[in-house]
Amino acid sequence: QSINHCCRPGSPDVKYTEEHIEARYSYHTATVSRCRGTYTVTPRTTRFTFRTQRSVPKLGVMLVGWGGNNGTTVTAAVLANKLGLSWRTRTGVKTANYFGSLLQASTVCLGMGPDGEVNVPFRDLLPMVHPNDIVFDGWDISSLDLGRAMERAQVLDWALQEQLRPHMEQLKPRPSIYIPEFIAANQEQRADNVLMGSKAEQVEQIRKDIRDFKKKSGVDKVIVLWTANTERMCDIVPGVNDTAATLLATIQLAMQQGAFIGGDDFKSGQTKVKSVLVDFLVSAGLKPTSIVSYNHLGNNDGRNLSAPQQFRSKEISKSNVVDDMVRSNNVLYAPGEKPDHCVVIKYVPNVGDSKRAMDEYTSEIMMGGTNTIVMHNTCEDSLLASPIILDLVILTELCQRITFCTEEDPHFQTFHSVLSVLSYLCKAPLVPEGAPVINSFFRQRTCIENLMRACLGLPPQNHMQLEHEMQ
């Protein structure tokens, strides 16, 4: 086991049993009412008990689109870390790492120690799966083994690929369900690994694949994650997804089975910056009036997105990200007012996986002034997306081991099937009905951090630093 779970709170509110970490936690919120222009704010306290199962399962992850740039890169990165690989590039020796992973490569402040702030890796807060221990499998409509698919992706340095190839070429994607009208026509030539038969037979084969993987690999739990091509939006079908009620019914099976579903599209680069920058501008009292985002990229994702219907799906997931921040400030924005927001994506084969993103943020500042921020970002897209894939599955697995109850309802329950805590990792978060969608980067990150602290009976991180304010 690669787990290093090093945080143990010294609090009477926390109990370690053989099976669980059990923490009593006071959750403080406020409710607001308004009468004749006056707000009345009432603090509320709900007493929770959180139970986190301590034993970490052997985790299997099945990727839909395993042979793509993300699928091959994340599999290769985990292998390289597990094998402790290093390789030479023209700028020196590089060593495998998990940079870009919230859980593996970022830290949280536990509190003050004798020498000041004590920061620990996020992964050490609670017992969780280490990426090195994940077993991968999956499906792809392209039959290339993962060694050749990694080469096709052109993401990793050649010297690393040479070391990984003997391992990667053993891995072969399972045939998948291919409905051509959902992805761009330009993908047809790689679709040589597809399931035949009726839709019901194909679904049954997918279920068999999951059981087969579980049995052969000996994993305790399987998480399925979509990293296949961006699909066009679904048609509105009466009785299936035409009203709020029918739409909700399509996720009922997940609720019945206690399975989680997350949001859409990995929030990896340009959109992540947007969820920071607009938060900064609006929180600082500056008024973004226009946001224009250009991208060009030359990988297969870009090729697929060169078709209008697939681009439209991506445009939607990239565009909604500022809504909550804009809506939160009624000093700057009238009801319904929004900044102009334009997203452009172009396919330029020559740049491969090295995506270029150019953004222009124009804001109104004091006394009619204008502030324009322009940004140019170049990066290997899949090296940003792969750590997010790892965080998504590890966080989801952890959430399956957490249950909680309140004083009013002492029956332990799991998180809602729509797992909104994954919002940080998704361009288009999904939340339970009636819950607010949060896109702001720091609020999303703080939510995960404080939730884990609650599982240890620790107060939320409040950054007040009152202990340093006293004479």
Binding-site ranges for ligand NAI (CB under 6 A) = 64-65, 67-71, 139-142, 176-178, 183, 190, 227-230, 265-266, 268, 299-301, 304, 381-382, 384-385
Q: How far is the CB of 304 from ligand NAI (least distance, A)?
A: 6
Q: Please enumerate, as own/partner, the contacts of 363-368 that have beta carbons within 8 Å and a separation of 24 or more.
A: 363/281, 363/286, 363/287, 363/288, 363/289, 364/286, 364/287, 364/289, 365/286, 365/287
405 near 49, Cβ under 8 Å?
A: yes
Q: How far apart are CA 44 and CA 31, in angstroms?
A: 7
User: Of 405, 419, 416, 390, nearest to 20 (Cα)?
Assistant: 405
Size of the residue set binding ligand DG6 (CB under 6 A) = 17
From the CB of residue 158, how many other CB atoms can be counted at a distance below 10 Å? 10
**Which does residue 178 bind out of ligand DG6, ligand NAI, none, counting CB within 5 to 8 angstroms by kind?**
ligand NAI
178 near 195, Cβ under 8 Å?
A: yes
Backbone angles phi, psi at 452, to 5 degrees: -70, -35
**Which does residue 271 bind out of ligand NAI, ligand DG6, none, counting CB within 5 to 8 angstroms by kind?**
ligand DG6
The reply on whether position 322 binds ligand DG6 by CB under 6 A is: no
Q: How far is the CB of 118 from ligand NAI (least distance, A)?
A: 34
Catalytic annotation, pick one of 137, 140, 355, 359: 355
**Which does residue 279 bind out of ligand DG6, ligand NAI, none, counting CB within 5 to 8 angstroms by kind?**
none
Active site (annotated) includes residue 338: no
Q: Which two tokens stand for residue 62?
A: 């099945």
Q: Kindly tell me which residue out of 174, 355, 356, 401 binds ligand DG6, with binding defined by CB under 6 A.
A: 355
Task: Return the number of the residue (310 or 400) whose C-beta is nearest ligand DG6.
Answer: 310
Which residue is listed with tokens 């009468």? 35
Q: How far is the CB of 150 from ligand DG6 (least distance, A)?
A: 19
Task: Return the number of the residue (287 or 314) whose C-beta is nearest ligand DG6.
Answer: 314
232 near 182, Cβ under 8 Å?
A: yes
Give the E-state strand segments of 36-182 in sequence order: 38-53, 59-64, 86-89, 92-95, 107-113, 116-121, 135-139
Q: Which residue is nearest to ligand NAI (CB)?
A: 68
Active site (annotated) includes residue 274: no
DSSP 8-class letter at 407: S
Binding mask 334-353 for ligand DG6 (x = CB under 6 A): -----------x--------
Q: How far is the CB of 190 from ligand NAI (least distance, A)?
A: 5
Q: How far apart are CA 363 and CA 370, in angstroms?
A: 6
Q: How far is the CB of 282 from ligand DG6 (least distance, A)?
A: 19
Catalytic annotation, pick one of 265, 301, 324, 391: 265
Task: Return the number of the residue (70 or 417) whose C-beta is nearest ligand NAI.
Answer: 70
**Which does residue 297 bind out of ligand DG6, ligand NAI, none, counting CB within 5 to 8 angstroms by kind?**
ligand DG6
The reply on whether position 69 binds ligand DG6 by CB under 6 A is: no
Q: How far apart are CA 340 and CA 290, in angstroms?
A: 4
Task: Please give the full DSSP string across 244-261, using - where no structure is assigned.
Answer: HHHHHHTTHHHHHHT--B
User: Of 213, 209, 203, nearest to 179 (Cα)?
Assistant: 203
Q: How far is the CB of 427 from ligand NAI (least distance, A)?
A: 8
Active site (annotated) includes residue 355: yes
Task: Please give the full DSSP string across 420-469, using - where no structure is assigned.
Answer: GGGGGGEEE----TTPPP---HHHHHHHHHHHHHHHTTPPPP----GGGT
The reply on whether position 295 binds ligand DG6 by CB under 6 A is: yes
Q: Kindly tell me which residue out of 51, 123, 190, 272 binds ligand DG6, with binding defined by CB under 6 A.
A: 272
Active site (annotated) includes residue 82: no
Q: Which two tokens stand for residue 176?
A: 């998948």
Side-chain half-sphere of 391: how many Cα atoms within 13 Å? 27
Q: Which two tokens stand for residue 342?
A: 């334009």
Q: How far is the CB of 317 from ligand DG6 (least distance, A)?
A: 7
Binders of ligand DG6 among 212-271, rule CB under 6 A? 265, 267-271
User: Of 412, 386, 380, 416, nearest to 399 (Cα)?
Assistant: 416
Q: How far is the CB of 270 from ligand DG6 (least distance, A)?
A: 4
Q: Which residue is nearest to ligand DG6 (CB)?
A: 269
Binders of ligand DG6 among 358-387, rule CB under 6 A? 381
Which residue is listed with tokens 């990995």? 266
Task: Return the number of the residue (163 or 439) whose C-beta is nearest ligand DG6.
Answer: 439
Task: Return the number of the residue (87 or 178) whose C-beta is nearest ligand NAI.
Answer: 178
Catalytic annotation, pick one of 301, 314, 318, 353: 314
Instruction: List contacts with ligand DG6 (CB under 6 A).
Output: 265, 267-272, 295, 297, 301, 305, 314, 318, 345, 355, 357, 381
- Point out the residues that are catalytic: 265, 314, 355, 427
